[in-house]
C-alpha cells in the first residue's frame, strides 16, 4: 500500500477515537493525518502515535490534499461534507446512515462482500454496528445453504449511543439521576426496548436498518428479517440472539466447522463448562464471537445462536479501516 493522507471527521467521538487506535495498531500506511471535529473541540488536541495533534474545525476546505476521509460525525455532517471531500479528490468511508441504502453506494463488510468496493464512485458506506456483527456470523451459514429467514433480538451497549451514552451509564451507575441522558429511560439496572426513532409500523429505525442493510450486504432479496433492538446497561460490545433458517437442513457440526474457518469469527461454545461469548470478553477485540449454537428441536433447517462483538471496533472503526485497506 502506498502511504495516504487521511482525514478523520468526528475524531473526538467514541468511533473517531477508536479509528485513531485502529490506524495506529494496524500500522496503516499514513503520510499525514488530519483530525477534524466541531467548533466545540477548537483548541483541543488528540493523541496519535505518542504525539498531541491539534484538532481542526471541520469546514469547506478541510479536504484539500486528502486521499482518504473517514467520516464518523453523524448523518447530517456526512450528507453535507462527504460530497465536498469527494470533489476534492478524496475517497470517503462513511460510518453514518446517510448513504447506506443508496443503490449506487457500496455497503461493505469485508468478510462478506469486499467485491462490492470495486464499484464505488467516491463514497463507501460502513453498515450499522449491529448489522455488521450479525452478518459476520451469518455469512458462513449462507455459504452452506441460502438463508430463508432471520429473527434477531439485540442487547446493545450504552456506547452505541456514542461518548455521551457511555458517560450517562457511568454516571447513573455512580448514583446520579440524569436530566441529560441520551436514553429515554434510566439505563442502569434497566433494559430499554427502543433504539432510534419508532416508525409508523411500530418497528424502530435501528430494527429497520438491520433488516434492509442485511439484505443489501448479503444479497438476500426479500428474505424475511425481523429485529427487536434493546439497549442494555453494558458499557461496551453488542450481543445478539439470532434464529436463522436455511433452504436445506444442515448438520450442526458443519455449521460449527464453517464458523471455525470463517475470517473475523471465533467460536466459544461449551455451555456445560460456562464457555460462551460475553460482552466483557468481546470488548476491545477485533473478532466477532459466536456460541450457544443449537439446532431447533422441531425444525431441522432452523438454528439458534448467540453472537457478541465490540460495536465500536468491528461494528464501526475496524470495519472502516478494513475497507480502507481493501481500497
Ligand X SMILES: NC(=O)c1ccc[n+]([C@@H]2O[C@H](COP(=O)([O-])OP(=O)(O)OC[C@H]3O[C@@H](n4cnc5c(N)ncnc54)[C@H](OP(=O)(O)O)[C@@H]3O)[C@@H](O)[C@H]2O)c1
Residue 10 is a binding residue for ligand X (CB under 6 A): yes
Residue 46 is a binding residue for ligand X (CB under 6 A): no
Residue 154 is a binding residue for ligand X (CB under 6 A): no
Residue 309 is a binding residue for ligand X (CB under 6 A): no
| Near ligand X by CB under 6 A: residue from 24, 48, 74, 327 | 74
Q: Which is nearer to ligand X, 48 or 249 (CB)?
A: 48
| Near ligand X by CB under 6 A: residue from 38, 226, 243, 278 | 38
Sheet containing strand 30-37, edge to edge, reads 56-57, 30-37, 4-9, 68-71, 91-94, 123-125
Alpha helices in 152-204 (DSSP H): 163-173
H or E element, residue 15: helix 14-25
Q: Give the dihedral sign, CA 19/287/215/114.
A: positive
Q: Give the dihedral sign, CA 10/281/229/124.
A: positive
Residue 279 is a binding residue for ligand X (CB under 6 A): no
Residues marked active site are found at 129, 238
Residue 40 is a binding residue for ligand X (CB under 6 A): yes
Taking the complex as a whole, the smallest distance from the CB of residue 73 to ligand X amounts, in Å, to 3
Residue 159 is a binding residue for ligand X (CB under 6 A): yes
Residue 58 is a binding residue for ligand X (CB under 6 A): yes
Residue 12 is a binding residue for ligand X (CB under 6 A): yes
Site string for ligand X, 113-142 (x = CB under 6 A): ----------------x-------------
Interacting residues with ligand X between 215 and 274 (CB under 6 A): none
| Near ligand X by CB under 6 A: residue from 225, 262, 312, 323 | 312
User: Could you tell me the maximum CA-CA distance found in the chain, to the nearest angstrom?
Assistant: 62
If one counts every other C-beta atom within 10 angstroms of the C-beta of residue 7, the result is: 26
Report how far residue 197's alpha carbon sits from residue 173's, in angstroms, rounded to the nearest whole number: 26
Q: Judge whether 185 and 192 are in contact, CB under 8 Å.
A: yes
Beta bridge partners of 91: 68
Report how far residue 55's alpha carbon sits from residue 88's, in angstroms, rounded to the nearest whole number: 20
Question: Residue 298 in 3-state DSSP?
Answer: coil
Residue 11 is a binding residue for ligand X (CB under 6 A): yes
Taking the complex as a whole, the smallest distance from the CB of residue 132 to ligand X amounts, in Å, to 8
**Contact residues: ligand X, CB under 6 A:** 10-16, 37-38, 40-41, 58, 72-75, 77, 95-96, 129, 159-160, 162-164, 311-312, 315-316
Amino acid at each position: 500500500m502506498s502511504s495516504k493522507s487521511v482525514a478523520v471527521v468526528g475524531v473526538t467521538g467514541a468511533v473517531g477515537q477508536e479509528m485513531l487506535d485502529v490506524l495506529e495498531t494496524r500500522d496503516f500506511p499514513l503520510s499525514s493525518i488530519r483530525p477534524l471535529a466541531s467548533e466545540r473541540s477548537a483548541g483541543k488536541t488528540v493523541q496519535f502515535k505518542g504525539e498531541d495533534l491539534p484538532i481542526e474545525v471541520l469546514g469547506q476546505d478541510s479536504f484539500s490534499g486528502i486521499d482518504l476521509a473517514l467520516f464518523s460525525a453523524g448523518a447530517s455532517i456526512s450528507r453535507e461534507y462527504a460530497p465536498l471531500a469527494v470533489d476534492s479528490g478524496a475517497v470517503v468511508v462513511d460510518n453514518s446512515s446517510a448513504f447506506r441504502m443508496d443503490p449506487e453506494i457500496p455497503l461493505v463488510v469485508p468478510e462478506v462482500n469486499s467485491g462490492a468496493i470495486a464499484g464505488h464512485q467516491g463514497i463507501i458506506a460502513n453498515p450499522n454496528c449491529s448489522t455488521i456483527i450479525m452478518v459476520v456470523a451469518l455469512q458462513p451459514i449462507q455459504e452452506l445453504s441460502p438463508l430463508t429467514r432471520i429473527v434477531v433480538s439485540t442487547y446493545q451497549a450504552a456506547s452505541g449511543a456514542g461518548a455521551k451514552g457511555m458517560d450517562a451509564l457511568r454516571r447513573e451507575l455512580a448514583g446520579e439521576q440524569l436530566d441529560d441522558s441520551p436514553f429515554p429511560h434510566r439505563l442502569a439496572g434497566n433494559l430499554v426496548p427502543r433504539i432510534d426513532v419508532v416508525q409508523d409500523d411500530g418497528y424502530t429505525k435501528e430494527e429497520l436498518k438491520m433488516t434492509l442493510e442485511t439484505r443489501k450486504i448479503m444479497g438476500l432479496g426479500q428474505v424475511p428479517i425481523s429485529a427487536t433492538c434493546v439497549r442494555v446497561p453494558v458499557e461496551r460490545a453488542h450481543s445478539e440472539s439470532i434464529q436463522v433458517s436455511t433452504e436445506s437442513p444442515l448438520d450442526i457440526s458443519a455449521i460449527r466447522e464453517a464458523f471455525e474457518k470463517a475470517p473475523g469469527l471465533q467460536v466459544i461454545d461449551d455451555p456445560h463448562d460456562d464457555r460462551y461469548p460475553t460482552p466483557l470478553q468481546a470488548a476491545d477485540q477485533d473478532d466477532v464471537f459466536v456460541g450457544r449454537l443449537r439446532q431447533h428441536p422441531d425444525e431441522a433447517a432452523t438454528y439458534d445462536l448467540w453472537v457478541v462483538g465490540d460495536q465500536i471496533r468491528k461494528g464501526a472503526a475496524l470495519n472502516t479501516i478494513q475497507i480502507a485497506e481493501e481500497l
